[in-house]
Structure 1
Amino acid sequence: MYSQVYRKILEPLWEEKIRKRHTLEYERKLNESQWLPEDDIRSIQWQELRKLLIHSEKECPYWRNAFEEAGLQARDIVSYDQFRSLPLTTKPIIREHYDDLIARSYRGKTWKKSTGGSTGAPLQFEYTPESDQWRQAVTRRGYAWAGAIGGIKQVYIWGVSLGKEPLIQKLKQNLHHLILRHRYFNSFSCNQESMRHWQRDIEKYDPKVIVGYTNPLYTFAKFINDRASAALIHPDSIITAAENLFDYQRVEIEKAFHAPVFHSYGSREFMLIAMECEKHEGLHISAENLFVEILREDGTPADPGEEGRVVVTDLHNYGMPFIRYDIGDLAVWSDKPCSCGRGLPMLKKISGRVLDIIRTPNGKSIPGEFFPHLLKDFSEILQFQIIQKKLDKLTVKLVTANGIGEESLDKIKKHISEAMGENCTIEYEFVDEIPLTKTGKHRVTMSMLSR
């Protein structure tokens, strides 16, 4: 009952009448366009892309120079091959050319945000209120596929503000969460004591949907599954976010909560990039808001089933256009459409971060997911992290329940040595905990080698 009142009265009153925002209007359009054939969605996408390019050439000194150097004019770009003539945008480029990337007519009218800087170098950027409304609308559509609609009880195991918030701001935020019926639990504090409190409070709250960072959700699921008494937490769905999801984590989470997992893929720069629907056959790209490319190392487009770097263009951020932005992730296009009938382009999977790839002395690369796949079968290991500071040396950090036997350690080392080659030294480091990143994420592998 409350959910209907919220969605039909409270939300439209607040969003459309009081705040004068177009989020709900965009969401309605997105709910219609998702069922169009893929070619029609691509046509809409291309129209938005061309408008963005023309605007960027006119308004942004950096992009005007980029078009000139590529021998192009924005209005003449009519093919993807021409579009690929534009350079990739990277974090260092944004830092170096920050002012020249801001559109002249939007100066002083944008909002600012920062990425978490998991590589040790946070990025500040700007975006427009209108593009934020598109981001919110895209997220609302994607989360609705998992049943996370306005006004229903939702629990978030999420990163919280690390600084001390002003009292008024905190009161406003608490009131907002109360109206939305959202409860937040601090994923930065994910230990045995806190998870006992989580379990008790979530059982009492009885949410319909649980949303959370992947690794804290997985740790919480293991905590529940390892306890003698089963949890009385039975949501309709789980949404994993902010970190990659491995198959063994999905199994553990679904076992704990007796509910399907919907994986989402996003970033601070763009919010929701792609999302699983009810068929769980891959992730649907937010194509009406983002133009996504997957590229090989030589910059050519990857084929379906082939892993490549994720490059994103934001179609509605006119304040600081993100064009061909190398986000630092690896992904794979799906080789078939989803059986749900949506025409949105599909990712088969997110492989992980480019920086998570471990390199071997003999010139090969090992994806970060190799290590979770290997170490998941050792029940003594509670948490782990692989660190590569030198090409011929790996450090394996382990958090164990009550120690780990030599036989298991030898077995782990044997498998890693077979993958890395005989010329690689592998050392163990036993720790009480593995620190999270500043944004509350857990990096499974960390390569500190120069690229």
Structure 2
Amino acid sequence: MTYMEEISPLKTIMDIWKVKQSKPEDLLSRQQSRLADLISFARSNSRYYAQKYRELPEHITSLQQLPPVTKSELMTHFNDWVTDPEVTIESVKEFVSDMSLIGHLYLGRYMVSTTSGSTGVPGIFIQDKGSDTVMKSLVAFRGTIKLKWSDMLKIVVKGGRNAAVCSTAGHFTAFSTAERLRLKRPSNGKIKVFSIHSPLSTLVKELNAYQPVVLGGYATVMEILAEEHKAGRLHIQPVAILLGGEKLYPNIRAKLESVFQARVLDMYGSTEATAMTFECEEGHFHVNTDWIIFEPVDEYYQPVPPGKQSHSVLITNLANRIQPLIRYELTDRVIMSLEPCKCGRPFPVIQVEGRTDDILKFSATNGQIVNILPLALKTIVEEIPGVKRFQLIQTASDQLTVRLEMDEDNSRDQVWENVREALLDYFATQGLITISIEKSNELPQRNPKSGKYQHIWIGLS
């Protein structure tokens, strides 16, 4: 049993509740105590960290003494990195290849999620039960602070039904989490997953039948659903809309609030640390620094001062023991605020330069405009063997251009043909049978602002 699995949910909740009144120095004390425990645990239980830290002093006095780590490095050394010898990359890959196991526990005790690889490297991340308790408690008690008591009452009175509108193409965090909750209480019908891969008309019909009170998903999905509501086809009245995974722009927030007359809650997190931040009443992201160490850095991993945009971020997840993440690089660009937030909470404020793909609009044979969700296309392509990086660019009302980088070990012609056929099959399900798909001679390129590979956008001349 790991250290974190011994922490009871009640103790975790009480700790999170007390911290909201703490001073910054109290938060720092909690953070440093947990960091010391994590480093000691990693050195004793992870062969990877034992080797990486072998030349370092026994007592670490500064986080900067520890070398940063990257996703590609950790994935390469997966079996040495994990702290449970029963966990292996081979068995985890077998687990995530089985779609029927989504929402189930790996080895009967671990939550597993995969990442799409927005920087070109897909990942497999595992949480122990203690970490899962911490992250879910942070979401429940800090991620919902914008909800008023009247909102809570409405949610209960209206039946408390939760709809998770997400990608169902793999063991992604949103899908896995929703399925895990559903499987715990299969008979109460309080949570249901809706696939972004369904035709829009089908998605709208299913949501109308379910009548969710809480609606969760991505900003681009909610934007399309808002248009369906305005057009009179979607007839739901959610009390709250929970967003994550994409940058939420102010105009889209305003549209969602106006159309649905609902409370909009946003969160910046990652598969590696789902509850990195929470949004306060002022609309600012606060870092959960009692459980997450957040370091904005430049390209040389040197600290970036508040007020200046970082090149990337190093995070240390103080909750997870099965896969210790210590100074792990996320390629997000952020700005740490110079000033404390007006809400009065002791947690630091950040601004995030996120990556949002465009909603593509194609013309059907009957002249109707069909909206295509970027995440639906993205998850289709990234699951094709041999695809390393890709970008999809709409270059005409009936044409899609593909930039593709492939693994060396695969037949390039076959990988391209698989990508093309998968996209054509998906477009056909959406009623688009005349789309032309062309392969570009250019390789995918990073977005100069976010540092990530934007996957999908409109490039009409």
* TM-score calculated relative to the size of structure 2: 0.64
Residue 185 of structure 1 pairs with residue 194 of structure 2: yes
Structure 2 gaps, min length 5 = 89-106, 172-178, 360-368, 379-390, 400-422, 428-441, 452-461
**Conserved in 2, the CA contact under 8 Å of 1:236 and 1:259?**
yes
Displacement after TM superposition at 1:216 (Å): 1.0
Q: What is aligned with 1:250?
A: 253
Question: In structure 2, what is the Cα distance between the partners aligned to 1:98 and 1:381?
Answer: 42
| CA deviation map 1:173-212 (0-9, x unaligned) | 36726537224322232x441243155235xx351x3221
From 261, 265, 269, give the equivalent of 1:262: 265
| CA deviation map 1:52-79 (0-9, x unaligned) | 112222332322232234xx2242x22x
- Tell me: CA distance 1:180–1:311, structure 2 relative to 1, closer, same or farther (3 Å): farther
Question: In structure 1, what is the Cα distance between the partners aligned to 2:48 and 2:111?
Answer: 19
| Equivalent position amino acid for 2:205 in 1 | H
Q: Matched residue of 2:331: which SS?
A: strand
Q: What is aligned with 1:139?
A: 139
Question: In structure 1, what is the Cα distance between the partners aligned to 2:18 and 2:79?
Answer: 37
Residue 315 of structure 1 pairs with residue 318 of structure 2: yes
Q: Matched residue of 1:26: which SS?
A: helix
Q: What is aligned with 1:125?
A: 125
Residue 300 of structure 1 pairs with residue 302 of structure 2: yes
Question: In structure 2, what is the Cα distance between the partners aligned to 1:53 and 1:174?
Answer: 34
From 376, 394, 408, give the equivalent of 1:397: 394
Displacement after TM superposition at 1:256 (Å): 1.7
Question: In structure 1, what is the Cα distance between the partners aligned to 2:50 and 2:170?
Answer: 39
Q: What is aligned with 1:233?
A: 236
Q: What is aligned with 2:221?
A: 216
Question: In structure 2, what is the Cα distance between the partners aligned to 1:44 and 1:121?
Answer: 33
| Equivalent position amino acid for 1:128 in 2 | D
| CA deviation map 1:287-333 (0-9, x unaligned) | 22211111122212222232221221111222221111112222221
Residue 160 of structure 1 pairs with residue 144 of structure 2: no
Percent sequence identity over matched residues? 20
- Tell me: CA distance 1:231–1:113, structure 2 relative to 1, closer, same or farther (3 Å): closer
Q: What is aligned with 2:287?
A: 285
From 353, 357, 361, give the equivalent of 1:351: 353
Question: In structure 2, what is the Cα distance between the partners aligned to 1:399 and 1:32?
Answer: 55
Q: What is aligned with 2:444?
A: 448
**Conserved in 2, the CA contact under 8 Å of 1:283 and 1:346?**
yes
Displacement after TM superposition at 1:142 (Å): 3.0
- Tell me: CA distance 1:127–1:395, structure 2 relative to 1, closer, same or farther (3 Å): closer
Question: In structure 2, what is the Cα distance between the partners aligned to 1:330 and 1:25?
Answer: 34
**Conserved in 2, the CA contact under 8 Å of 1:381 and 1:398?**
no
**Conserved in 1, the CA contact under 8 Å of 2:143 and 2:279?**
no
| CA deviation map 1:114-153 (0-9, x unaligned) | 4232446432233322122212212222333243879633
Between Structure 1 and Structure 2, how many residues are aligned?
347
Question: In structure 1, what is the Cα distance between the partners aligned to 2:267 and 2:238?
Answer: 17
Structure 1 gaps, min length 5 = 1-18, 164-169, 354-367, 373-379, 388-393, 404-430, 436-445
- Tell me: CA distance 1:399–1:342, structure 2 relative to 1, closer, same or farther (3 Å): farther
| Equivalent position amino acid for 1:279 in 2 | E
Q: Matched residue of 1:49: which SS?
A: helix
Q: What is aligned with 1:326?
A: 329
Question: In structure 2, what is the Cα distance between the partners aligned to 1:331 and 1:171?
Answer: 31
| CA deviation map 1:398-417 (0-9, x unaligned) | 686x99xxxxxxxxxxxxxx
Question: In structure 2, what is the Cα distance between the partners aligned to 1:447 and 1:214?
Answer: 27
**Conserved in 2, the CA contact under 8 Å of 1:103 and 1:319?**
yes
**Conserved in 1, the CA contact under 8 Å of 2:165 and 2:216?**
yes
* TM-score calculated relative to the size of structure 1: 0.66
Q: Aligned-pair RMSD on alpha carbons?
A: 3.9
